[in-house]
């Protein structure tokens, strides 16, 4: 074996071991979600003696997962739609406008990405309460738009530079207005980065726990990930139901990521290189 083959073999071995380590918690959660608490505590690493969906059925009905799924889907759809609309317009305008003011505004978006959420958590909670945005999934969606628009503007800003200005000039000469030109010509060309941003924000909003926890108080407004917190009692934790509910919660995210992961990598790479 030459040196190149040894290096390739070593890299593949390292990546395989890393993949197994990353997949091990998922494997343990899935196999133990089919066990009772007694069987799970007797042998946590073994396969279940029999495949039973009792835990899944009980978790689905007990946590009212249908309502929680609707709440999570509503927050995700509204939040993503708002982020895509606001960020695409802002990213396009900032990319096409030269000058110090445009550059300064863009740098503000970049700088806001460096601010940790925990440092603005208390002021954000007070502001949301003042604006009557807390306690509602619709108010929660607006907050997600504000928190997610900075990264989206950064990605759109870089991707827009790959679009020739001649397309816009031709549209203007044909009498097309600026907004009509944007939605008819520019926005369809932004589809690769738009899909990337939509998937990334869906993974973020669907899996987020802290923001719904501090904003939502009504149990009927709980998101899917927040509803699983009910099973974590101070003196009692029903691990079989917890694992089954977590598997159900993560299933939509895993399916979407498996089918659309190539769009994530392509969109981020193109936006970064062309920016």
Domain CATH code at residue 173: 1.10.3720.10
Structural domain that includes position 229: 33-274
Q: Which two tokens stand for residue 96?
A: 């096409």
275 residues of the chain, pLDDT tens digit each:
567 787 888 888 999 999 899 889 888 888 888 888 788 888 778 888 888 888 888 888 888 889 999 999 999 999 999 999 999 999 999 998 888 899 899 999 999 988 888 888 888 888 888 888 888 899 999 999 999 999 999 999 988 888 888 888 888 887 788 888 888 888 988 888 898 899 889 989 999 999 999 898 888 899 988 888 877 765 567 788 888 888 888 888 888 878 877 776 666 665 554 44
The pTM of the full predicted model, rounded to 2 decimals, is 0.83
> Does residue 134 lie in a domain region?
yes
- On whether residue 28 sits in a domain, the answer given is no
Residue 109 domain-assigned (yes or no):
yes
Domain count, the chain: 1
Task: Confirm whether 19 is domain-assigned.
Answer: no
Asked whether residue 15 is assigned to any structural domain, the reply reads: no
Q: Residue 152's closest CA among 119, 109, 115, 192?
A: 109
Residue 12 lies in a domain: no
Q: Kindly give the residue spans of alpha helices, DSSP state H, lying in 2-99.
A: 3-32, 37-42, 54-62, 65-96
**Does the residue 25 lie in any domain?**
no
- Count CA atoms closer than 13 A to 275's CA, side-chain side: 20
Residue 26 falls within a domain, yes or no? no
């Amino acid at each position: 074996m030459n040196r190149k083959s040894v290096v390739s073999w070593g890299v593949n071995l390292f990546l395989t071991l890393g993949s197994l380590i990353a997949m091990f918690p998922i494997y343990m959660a899935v196999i133990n979600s089919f066990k009772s608490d007694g069987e799970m505590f007797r042998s946590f690493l073994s396969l279940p003696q029999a495949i039973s969906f009792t835990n899944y059925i009980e978790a689905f009905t007990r946590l009212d997962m249908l309502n929680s799924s609707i709440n999570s889907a509503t927050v995700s759809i509204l939040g993503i739609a708002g982020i895509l609309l606001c960020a695409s317009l802002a990213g396009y305008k900032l990319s096409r406008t030269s000058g110090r003011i445009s550059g300064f505004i863009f740098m503000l978006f970049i700088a806001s990405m460096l601010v940790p959420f925990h440092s603005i958590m208390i002021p954000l909670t007070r502001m949301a309460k003042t604006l009557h945005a807390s306690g509602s999934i619709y108010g929660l969606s607006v907050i997600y738009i504000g928190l997610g628009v900075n990264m989206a503007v950064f990605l759109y800003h870089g991707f827009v530079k790959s679009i020739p200005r001649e397309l816009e000039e031709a549209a203007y000469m044909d009498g097309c207005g600026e907004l009509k030109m944007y939605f008819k010509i520019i926005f369809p060309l932004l589809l690769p980065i738009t899909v990337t941003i939509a998937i990334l924000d869906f993974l973020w909003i669907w899996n987020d726990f802290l923001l719904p926890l501090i904003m939502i108080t009504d149990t009927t407004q709980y998101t899917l990930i927040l509803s699983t917190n009910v099973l974590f009692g101070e003196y009692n934790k029903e691990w079989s139901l917890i694992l089954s509910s977590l598997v159900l919660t993560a299933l939509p995210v895993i399916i979407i990521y498996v089918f659309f992961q190539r769009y994530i990598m392509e969109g981020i790479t193109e936006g970064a290189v062309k920016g």
